[in-house]
Amino acid sequence: MITPGAATTAAIGSLVLTAALLVCAGSASAEPRFSFETTPGKLPKDVVPKHYALRIVPAATYDRFDAEALIDIEVARPVPAIVLNAAELNFNSVRLRASRGDETSLTPSFDPRRETVTLTPASAPIAPGSYRLGIEYSGKIGKHPQGLYQIAYKQREEGRLAEKLMLATQMEPVQARRLFPGWDEPVFRATFEIVAVIDAPLTAVSNMPQSRVELRPDGRKEVSFARSVPMSTYLVGLFVGEMDLLEDSVDGIRLGIHTVKGKRARARYAMEATKEVLHYFNDYFGEPYPLVKLDQIALPGGIVGAMENWGAIAYNEGRFLYDPGEDSLRQQQGVYGIVAHEIAHQWFGNLVTMAWWDNLWLNEGFASWMAGKASARFNPRWGTPLRDALWKDQALSEDARRTTHPVQTPVENDTRAMDVFDAITYAKGAAVLRMIEGYLGEDVFRAGVRGYVRAHRFSSTTTADFWHHLSGASRQDIGKLVAGWTEQPGYPVVKVLQRCENGAAVVTLAQERFTLNDPKAPPLTWNVPVILADETGARRTVLLERDPRKLRFERCGAMLANAGDTGYYRSQYDDRSFRRLVPALSRLPAPDRLRLLSDTFALVQAGRADTTRYLALVENLGAETDRTIWEHVTAALRFLRELIDSPGEQAVFDRYVARLLETPFASAGWDPRPGEPADTPLVRRSLIEALGRAGHEAVVREAQSRFAARAQRPIDPAIRPAVLNIVGRYADPPTFDTLLERMRSAIDVADKWEAQSALRQVRDPGLLRRLMELMLTDELPPSDAVFNLTHIGDDNGRVELGWQFVLEHLPAILAKASPRGRPHVLPDAASAFTDAARADELIALTRAHLEAPALYQAEKTADWIRLKASVKTREARRAIGWARARLGPEQAGTREIPPPLPVRERPSPRSRREGVEQGKAQFAAKQ
Ligand SMILES: [Zn+2]
């Protein structure tokens, strides 16, 4: 699964306590290999499901469904009752028929908190044997992506906008129990046969191909799907709607991509990517994709990322469709990456499944690593490892805080499973795999992966199973070597100390645990493969264990650790070595430039270096052209800017940022130049965005006039999000209305997101209030509304205003949020604060308004706010002082920049996207 949460979270509370216990147990691999009986979970293991036959009949209103489940079960020993999962289901009847034929009815007793139901016979216990459990029931179809849900979207029909609905499912982690009663824990594998009764003109897609379609006298049809392979409940998928189909095949596997009407052509790129990676994976794993077909569905809403349902992968169309004429390279790269990730899951997760959520990284870390590998292999010019390095950086940041957790983290309660979908599970997991692969070599590593997949296909595993196969392939005890990376929280900083002896260098390497704000963290060590490179480019790999190591190089000079950025750690150089690296910066390969910048900034955040060291490094970038590096730098500058409280000083820092970025922007320019590198448009977008944020007058004016002239000259898609954000930031009421119309009339998710992002930038307090009040209405899908409300403060810098609005309307906003999203409401709205008092307020409010499990997210954000508060005490003055000194007396005054006036527009739509607002006008006329 790809979720927005995967990018922004870490852990606390009970998880941290159990993590501390794990640490005490030492770093040697402590986890046993998979066994069904000892796998954690809340359901008893003496009754197991073998097969589900499900018949789902959605009501015409799409708000509820009727259903029947026939579940074949095996009872291993006499049990007083059968316990399984069910959430918000109403049972009409429950029958249990033994294989010899006698039938009894069972009485259900629901436990809504545990999301279980206990089925009890009238008299004697249930004897061991095979049974068929028959349940007639009904359930809800909601608007949040949980279980079976509806997606509302707009579609252009004969020049008008029509309102449409489709049905989709989202089961992971624990939502299948909202569609059918069952054993909703990953270790309970069973086969499925699904029947859906739907309106005849609609299409239904599920995990398996359709096996029969029968028309009924009432105009509906009954669609039956073939019996599935044995799989976990969280992988079940069912989608119903008016859809277009794009078909193809690869290696004998039938491929289908379903989009809403009219969008099929934009799925062609995803189809090409699918063929490429599916073929590659068939070869890599040595175990072919096991189903006869693979469908992919581009949803016009619902989930924000993607879900790897076996044979029926679901995506938000905003991350899946790609139009070469209208979309950016960034979109194209994103599509490739997400397709590769979800298809990798067909092996890592679907074919071989983690036994329990504590080993989620076996799904997500592996799929993330594999997606990066495939993307880099087939698109060598995209700089995929660098993009992944930015993601790794996010994990390195979360993993250095007080609230971190090990990759393998105990999840004692399945309703808390969602908490582990974070950057540590995904990006640290992937980075650790990359590090091990780099250490063992690609061939040995692949042999281990193949052995693992072959041995555990259609079964479950723990991490110990993977180490076992890797040990077999490499003939060394891999668990002992690497388990510290997955069983311990955090990571080391490698200290590099260089001493010159008669011109030769003696380099001492030593490690200690790196934290941003947790000086009392248990002192751990890791086995770190360190790759050192000297000025001549000579590289040496050493395994740094607990004790420091000394190495000799022929010559003194610049010495780089973690060369190639394949390691998951930070490096800290002695002053002299650092000074040697600064002038060498622009000559280093891009991954090393990024690593040096990022490590230096992390050292600043941790209080191990000061801001001026980082800013000096940035000023040394010269004619840097790499987009990931500018993305890192602009994010770091934004972090520093947030620490400055006074508006006058903010303006000084803004002017410094504007001046700093003018140089690279002068070489990127506004418009594509013939023969420019493919990445340049992405650099352009980052710099325009940052310059707009800093209030650079010429950039703001140009963005506004490009927006005004968009009908005559469509805005280059590569920079359009940045241009719209600037336009939104300085919008007056008419411009605000135009953006609002753009959002309302968008028929593509990507356009809607773009318009919403622009609206969230609005600085004018009156307009901001209008926007937030609109979000309280039912106009937008509830998850969009909540997202906008809780991110407005962060996006436009008016954190206090956004926060107060959220507090004023907290009950209404919490009611709008999904149960899964509710714990994020307050933390998201508070995350841009930089005062410790706000952290306390966040915790107090969470305790007052939410249930205990929500504290987990609040603690993480509170820790982040406190971290920023402590960096502020140390660094805010230094950053301002540096900016003043660089600007010179004329520019360093605390004059604020008045917002430029918007340029008026000249409408006359031309392209598909620029036609969006026209479509809205026609829609209004129809009303
Ligand atoms: Zn995933």
Separation of alpha carbons 194 and 236, rounded Å: 10
Separation of alpha carbons 633 and 572, rounded Å: 19
Q: How far is the CA of 4 from the centre of ligand 1 (A)?
A: 11
Separation of alpha carbons 610 and 99, rounded Å: 73
Length of the chain: 927
Q: How far is the CA of 7 from the centre of ligand 1 (A)?
A: 12
Q: How far is the CA of 425 from the centre of ligand 1 (A)?
A: 10
Question: Which residues touch 135 (CB under 8 Å, ≥6 apart)?
Answer: 68, 69, 71, 91, 93, 94, 95, 181
What average pLDDT does the segment 189-204 reach? 98
Question: Which residues touch 440 (CB under 8 Å, ≥6 apart)?
Answer: 448, 470, 473, 474, 478
| pLDDT above 70 for 904 | no
Quote the percentage of the chain above a pLDDT of 90: 85
Q: How far is the CA of 832 from the centre of ligand 1 (A)?
A: 28
Q: Which residues of 12-29 are buried (b: 16+ CB within 10 A; e: fewer)?
A: bbbbbebbeebbeeebeb
- Tell me if 295 sits within 8 A of 253, measured CB to CB: no
Separation of alpha carbons 604 and 607, rounded Å: 5
Closest CA to 142 of 64, 246, 35, 223: 64
- Phi and psi dihedrals of 400, rounded to 5? -105, 5
* Lookup: tokens for 682: 């992405």
Sheet arrangement for strand 312-316: 243-250, 253-260, 293-299, 312-316, 306-307
pLDDT digits (tens, 9 = 90+) for 117-155: 999 999 889 999 999 999 999 999 999 999 999 999 999
Strand partners, 509: 496, 549
| pLDDT above 50 for 739 | yes
The reported pLDDT for the residue numbered 899 is: 54
Separation of alpha carbons 80 and 89, rounded Å: 22
Question: Which residues touch 916 (CB under 8 Å, ≥6 apart)?
Answer: 742, 745, 746, 747, 751, 909
Q: How far is the CA of 780 from the centre of ligand 1 (A)?
A: 27
Longest dimension (CA), the chain: 95
Choosing from 115, 185, 308, 342, which is the catalytic residue? 342
Whole-number Cα distances in Å, 66 to 76, 87, 487, 525: 31, 15, 45, 56
Matching residue, tokens 């710099």: 687
pLDDT digits (tens, 9 = 90+) for 151-174: 999 999 988 999 999 999 999 999
Q: How far is the CA of 564 from the centre of ligand 1 (A)?
A: 26
| pLDDT above 70 for 917 | no
Sheet arrangement for strand 203-206: 147-157, 160-170, 238-241, 203-206
| pLDDT above 80 for 28 | no
| pLDDT above 70 for 925 | no
Q: Is 689 among the residues known to form the active site? A: no
What average pLDDT does the segment 722-744 reach? 97
pLDDT digits (tens, 9 = 90+) for 520-531: 999 999 999 999
Question: Which residues touch 14 (CB under 8 Å, ≥6 apart)?
Answer: 412
pLDDT digits (tens, 9 = 90+) for 553-595: 888 899 999 999 999 999 999 999 999 999 888 889 999 999 9
Closest CA to 366 of 334, 341, 331, 330: 341
| pLDDT above 70 for 384 | yes
| pLDDT above 90 for 905 | no
| pLDDT above 60 for 923 | no
Q: Say how many C-beta atoms besides its own lie within 10 A of residue 55's C-beta.
A: 18
| Confidence band for 901, pLDDT divided at 50, 70 and 90 | low
Q: Pick the more confident residue, 908 or 749.
A: 749
| pLDDT above 80 for 914 | no
The neighbourhood of ligand 1, an ion, using CB within 5 A, equals: 1, 364, 367
Q: How far is the CA of 283 from the centre of ligand 1 (A)?
A: 21
The reported pLDDT for the residue numbered 902 is: 57
What average pLDDT does the segment 185-209 reach? 98
Q: Tell me the three-class secondary structure of 387-400, residue by residue.
A: HHHHHHHHHHHHCC
The reported pLDDT for the residue numbered 889 is: 83
Q: Which residues of 564-587 are buried (b: 16+ CB within 10 A; e: fewer)?
A: ebbbbbbbbbeeebbebbbebbee
- Tell me if 699 sits within 8 A of 711, measured CB to CB: no
Q: 344: exposed, middle or buried (C-beta count within 10 Å: 0-12, 13-18, 19+)?
A: buried
Separation of alpha carbons 773 and 838, rounded Å: 24
Q: How far is the CA of 363 from the centre of ligand 1 (A)?
A: 7
The reported pLDDT for the residue numbered 897 is: 54
Strand partners, 298: 315
The model's pTM is 0.93
Closest CA to 446 of 366, 533, 517, 390: 366
The reported pLDDT for the residue numbered 921 is: 32
Separation of alpha carbons 248 and 255, rounded Å: 5
Q: How far is the CA of 321 from the centre of ligand 1 (A)?
A: 18
| pLDDT above 70 for 18 | no
What average pLDDT does the segment 616-640 reach? 93
Q: Pick the more confident residue, 853 or 704.
A: 704
What's the CA angle centered on 328, arms 324 and 329, to 5 degrees? 90
Q: How far is the CA of 1 from the centre of ligand 1 (A)?
A: 3
Quote the percentage of the chain above a pLDDT of 70: 93
Q: How far is the CA of 366 from the centre of ligand 1 (A)?
A: 9
| Confidence band for 2, pLDDT divided at 50, 70 and 90 | confident
Separation of alpha carbons 465 and 286, rounded Å: 18
Closest CA to 310 of 326, 324, 296: 296
Helices 429-440 and 463-474 cross at an angle (nearest 10°) of: 10
* Lookup: tokens for 58: 């959605």
Q: How far is the CA of 799 from the centre of ligand 1 (A)?
A: 32
What average pLDDT does the segment 716-745 reach? 96
- Mean pLDDT taken over the chain: 92
The reported pLDDT for the residue numbered 896 is: 60
- Tell me if 852 sits within 8 A of 179, measured CB to CB: no
pLDDT digits (tens, 9 = 90+) for 759-780: 999 999 999 999 999 999 999 9
Separation of alpha carbons 307 and 239, rounded Å: 13
- Tell me if 379 sits within 8 A of 336, measured CB to CB: yes
| Confidence band for 820, pLDDT divided at 50, 70 and 90 | confident
Indicate the range of 452-456, 502-506, 636-640 predicted with least confidence: 502-506
| pLDDT above 70 for 3 | no
What average pLDDT does the segment 319-324 reach? 96
Whole-number Cα distances in Å, 649 to 639, 730, 816, 892: 15, 20, 38, 9
Q: How far is the CA of 824 from the centre of ligand 1 (A)?
A: 20
